[in-house]
Amino acid sequence: MSLFVQETLLDRVVALVERVFGKRGTGGGQEATAAGGVIPRIQVAFFSRQGGPVTIDGHGYWDARDHLSTRRKKGEWTGYHAEMMIVSAMVSMFTRDARDLTVGQAKILLSQAGAPAIAANADCCAHCAKMLDKLGIARPSGSDKASLTGWWNPFTDDVYPNGSTEFRNFLND
């Protein structure tokens, strides 16, 4: 029996996000959700933060906000969850636009360099969890609640407001 615990890529991403951003809500306020992601054979970490840019000392990372494929202006990014910003940036790493791909095509593209992992400093919403699962991207467990505001689909570039037909139907497809 080995004394060493096997650490997964997801474990390392979770630790990285906690080290860089901390846990959301521990400061007593409603901080923005932040996330990190890694594709195993790509030598860059992807970071995103809802509501603003990521500023981290060091090199070797992409601020996902700078690599999104969207027609909307930054002031309209209310429903852009940190995890989906990273998905869009990961697709951009392969010089592709997420809006030109199906989810199945993106899954094949993203897995070329190993199965990616994405984690946030808070549980991801049910919409993000479902999309990450469809893409084969490892994520922490726990995410059964829909967003209180809305959700952005990086493949259709549509924002689904909470309560809309599209918002409800996405969870059932």
User: Which residues does 55 contact at the CB level (< 8 Å), separation at least 6?
Assistant: none
Rounded to whole angstroms, how far apart are CA atoms 104 and 155?
11
pLDDT attached to residue 28: 47
Any alpha helices (H) in 22-159, and if so which ranges?
A: 82-93, 103-111, 126-135
Residue 171 pLDDT class (50, 70, 90 cuts): confident
pLDDT per position as a tens digit, 45-59: 999 998 888 888 777
Mean pLDDT across the chain, nearest whole number? 88
Beta bridge partners of 36: 47, 119
Question: What is the number of H-type helices and E-type strands within the chain?
Answer: 5, 6
Q: How far is CA 78 from the centre of its chain?
A: 15
Global pTM value: 0.90
For the ranges 21-30, 32-41, 116-125, 145-154, the lowest mean pLDDT is seen at 21-30
Mean pLDDT over 126-153 rounds to: 90
Q: Within the chain, what is the greatest distance between any pair of CA atoms?
A: 55
Answer for the pair 41, 70: CB distance below 8 angstroms, yes or no. no
